[in-house]
Structure 1
Amino acid sequence: MNPARVDRSRLHDLTDLPNVGPSVAGDLRRIGIERPSQLVGQSPLELYRRLCEVTGARQDPCVLDVFMSVTRFMDGEAPRPWWAYTAERKLLVRK
């Protein structure tokens, strides 16, 4: 969902989260996340690592940006587009 359209009072499905469409929702389900509330307090890096492990492949690093956006949002930050986290992710996970 577009971050500008997120309504915190209507967070029932994963696709209600900012930056989460059907594909990312499927990725989250693969690692056991079924509801937005399960993202509270989660480490985006750990979620990304779990996804890579479950799929047996290194995922696009932008997925980590999305995981950063949704975990931060669920921890109380304002919704932001996933690419707002790219620079931080690049510092976190130096290639």
Structure 2
Amino acid sequence: MHPDKVDRQRLKKLTDLPNIGKAGADDLKILGIDTPDQLVGRCPYELYESLCRLTGKQHDPCVIDVFISVTRFMNGEPALVWWAYTEERKLTLANG
């Protein structure tokens, strides 16, 4: 299957997502996200802020990049490596 034609409905585990391993899956579970489809329509910046608030610590900003990658992927965009979003995140936060 062509990578851009992934059947996202078949993704059942968080670790089925690109850029998500055990630690990333654990972060998402803290946010109450247990399945990939729960990421559809979510804001990666809000997810990050919630994660920091719920854990009581400031997480590395690259977590935002990972959240951007998985929310965009679940909203139909091609799978990209998380660092493809680093510059976008830096610009967004600088202009925010």
Query: TM-score by structure 1 length?
Result: 0.89
Instruction: Quote how far apart the aligned CAs of 1:93 are.
Output: 1.1
Number of equivalent positions: 90
* Structure 2 gaps, min length 5: none
Deviation (angstroms), 1:25? 0.1
- The Cα offsets for residues 16-74 of structure 1, whole Å up to 9 and x where unpaired, read as 00000000000000010000000000000000000000010111000000000000000
Moved >4 Å (runs of 4+): none
Q: Which has the larger radius of gyration?
A: 2
- Say what the alpha-carbon RMSD is for the aligned residues: 1.5
Aligned ranges for residues 75-86 of structure 1 at < 5 Å?
75-86=75-86
Runs of 5+ consecutive residues of structure 1 not aligned to the other structure? none
Within 5 Å, give how 1:1-95 maps onto structure 2. Answer: 7-8=6-7, 10-94=10-94
Amino-acid identity (%): 57
